Amino acid sequence: MTSSIWTEKYRPQNFSEIQGQTEIVKKIEAFVSSGNMPHLLFSGPAGVGKTTLSLVIARQLFGENWRQNTLELNASDERGIDVVRVKVKDFARTKAIGDVPFKLIYLDESDALTREAQQALRRTMENYTRTCRFILSCNYSSKIIDPIQSRCAIFRFKPLSEAEISLVIDKVAKEEQLTVSAESKKALFEVCDGDCRRLENIMQSCAVMGKDITPELVYSMASVAKPKEVNELLSVAVKGDFISSKKKLLDLMLNYGLSGLDVIKQVQREIWNLSIDDRLKVQLIDKCGETEFRMVEGSDEYVQLESFLAYAVLVGKK
C-alpha cells in the first residue's frame, strides 16, 4: 500500500516510539540487545506496525550501515522463484558490514509468494543461516508453508486499540497544529479500525481542507457513511418501511460514493446497535454474510443490498 508523506514522517525510529504491540516489542528488543536473533515471521492486518518494527530492528542492529545490510523486497510485486534464487541469494551470500555477523532480508507480503518460491526460500534460509536473517511479513500466516513457519519465531500483531490510536492522533495534531475534538477522534478511530497507516492518510487528507478536523470531514474524506445514517437506514427497514429504506440506501451510496461491500460492512457493525431482540440481530448478521459472499462472487451489488433490506423488513415483522 502506498504510504502518505505523513506515514513516512511519523514512522518510529526506535522501539520506544512504537505504539501498541508492547509484548512483541519487548521480545524483539531482547533479541536485538543480545546481538543475535532467529528468523522472524510477522503476521497481522495492515497498518499495525510490521514494516515499522522491521526497519527499527535494522536501525538498532546496524546503526548507520543499516541500508547496506538490509534488503527490503515486496513479495507481491516480485513473487516468482527467480527473485528468491537471484536477488535473495546474491544478497545473502556476502558478509555483513560492521560488528553484527549477519545481514537482514525483509520480505513484505510474503504470503503472496508462490509455493515454489516458498520452497526455494526454505532452502535459502537453511543454507545462509550464518550470514543472513529473514523477517517475513504477511497478513495470513496460514498461507506460509509449514517448513518456513517452523524455522521462524512467529509474532501475531493485533489492530491498535482506541487509546493507542488516540496517542497517535495527539502526536500528529500537535506537530501539524490541528484541532481534533473528542468526536473527531472517535470518528477517526471508527474509520481507521486500528490501522495506523490509514489513520495518518485520512488525517493528512483532512488537513488539506483546514486545520479544524470535524467528524463530517473525516467521514467524507474516508468515503464512509456516518454510523448514525446507517443506523437510520436499518431502523426504517426493521420497522417495515421498505420503500423509505431503499431510498435511504440509494442516497447513501450516491452521496458517499460507496460500493456494495463498503455498505454491507458498515451495516454489519451497526446491526448490534439496533433496538431489536438479539435473536433477530443474529439472523441479520447471518444474512450479511450471505449478501457479502454473493457480491464477492459477482452478483449485482444494488440487487443484493435491496434483498438484504427486504429480509430486514421481514425480520422486523416477526
Taking residue 272's Cβ as centre, other Cβ atoms within 10 Å add up to: 10
Indicate the pTM of the whole model: 0.81
Residue 77: Cβ-neighbour burial (10 angstroms; 0-12, 13-18, 19+) = exposed
CATH superfamily of 21-156: P-loop containing nucleotide triphosphate hydrolases (3.40.50.300)
Report in angstroms the alpha-carbon separations of 293 from 117, 257, 263, 286, 289. Answer: 30, 21, 13, 11, 6
Summarize the chain as % helix, strand, coil (round to 5).
Answer: 60, 10, 30
The amino acid occupying position 159 is P
Read off the pLDDT of residues 172-211 as tens digits, 9 standing for 90 and up: 999 889 999 999 999 999 888 888 889 999 998 899 888 8
Virtual torsion, Cα 48, 78, 149, 119, nearest 10 deg:
180
Mean pLDDT of 146-172: 91
For 242-269, write each residue's pLDDT tens digit. 999 999 999 888 888 888 898 999 999 8
- When pLDDT is averaged across residues 269-282 and rounded to a whole number, the result is 90
130-149: pLDDT as tens digits? 888 999 999 988 999 999 99
Alpha-carbon span 44 to 196, nearest angstrom: 13
CATH class of 162-221: mainly alpha
CATH of 227-317, one of 3.40.50.800, 1.20.272.10, 2.102.10.10, 2.40.110.20: 1.20.272.10
User: What pLDDT is recorded for position 81?
Assistant: 65
Those residues whose C-beta lies under 8 Å from the C-beta of residue 146, and which sit 6 or more positions away, are: none
